[in-house]
Structure 1
Amino acid sequence: MERVYRMTVASVYVHYVTKLERKGRTTAELNRVIEWLTGFGDTELTAHLDRGTTFEDFFEQADLNPDASLITGVVCGVRVEEIEEPLTQKIRYLDKLVDELARGRAMEKVLRS
């Protein structure tokens, strides 16, 4: 996971966008999910993407949503609620939210509201 921690958010973000657009979802929806999870609005998110912020720094600076612990399920064969390493769990939370969007889940359910 050390390699993933050092990856830039921007390098993965483009793959999230591609995945979601193929499934009929929008970049705005992706950004909304990221804002819900991290507290970063569009301006802050764009700044992180432009700066090449690593996942480690990105989540270190994030104000994680208190309801993030409600994100459950399997990503890459691992239950996200059982991941013990905090940074890995945060990254997998984001992956899980993107997966739910791609599957067509309603935004209200994705955002646990």
Structure 2
Amino acid sequence: MSKHKIYSMSFVKVYPHYVTKAEKKGRTKTEVDEIIRWLTGYNQEELEAHLEKQTDFETFFAKAPHLNPSRALIKGVICGVRVENIEEPTMQEIRYLDKLIDELAKGKAMDKILRN
């Protein structure tokens, strides 16, 4: 079975869409970055380096320093699929991020988004 095309897509191609989605709803790039750092364990400099290097999604998540164990608390539907039921690990990580950005755009408080 071939890999989904998003795995080879550069993270920096999608990142501006995350930021735009958040900003359209009165949220900030800083909040988007905080969510990404929370999920992956990257610090801001590492995140920016991956954006600059145009790292693909698969590598971005594979090299994440510390995937947050609380990400298992992320539940709900994204693109018509329940994120907690996705069996392919990389796709689940991508959809976790999509779900968190959706929650941000819907006005959810950061402490709830970050499962505090």
Structure 1 portions without partners, runs of 5+? none
- Provide the residue aligned with 1:85 in structure 2: 88
Q: 2:38, 2:106 → 1: CA distance?
A: 18
Q: What is the TM-score when the length of structure 1 is the normalising length? A: 0.98
Deviation per residue, 1:80-99 (Å, 9 max, x gap): 00000000000000000000
Structure 2 portions without partners, runs of 5+? none
- Provide the residue aligned with 2:77 in structure 1: 74
Structural mapping, 1:37-52, within 5 Å: 37-52=39-54
Secondary structure, in 3 states, of the residue corresponding to 2:104?
helix
- Provide the residue aligned with 2:6 in structure 1: 4
- Provide the residue aligned with 1:96 in structure 2: 99
Tell whether 2:113 aligns with 1:110: yes
Q: What is the TM-score when the length of structure 2 is the normalising length? A: 0.96
Deviation at residue 41 of structure 1 after TM alignment:
1.4
Q: State the 4+ residue runs in structure 1 displaced beyond 4 angstroms.
A: none
Q: 1:26 aligns with which of 20, 25, 28?
A: 28
- The aligned length equals 113
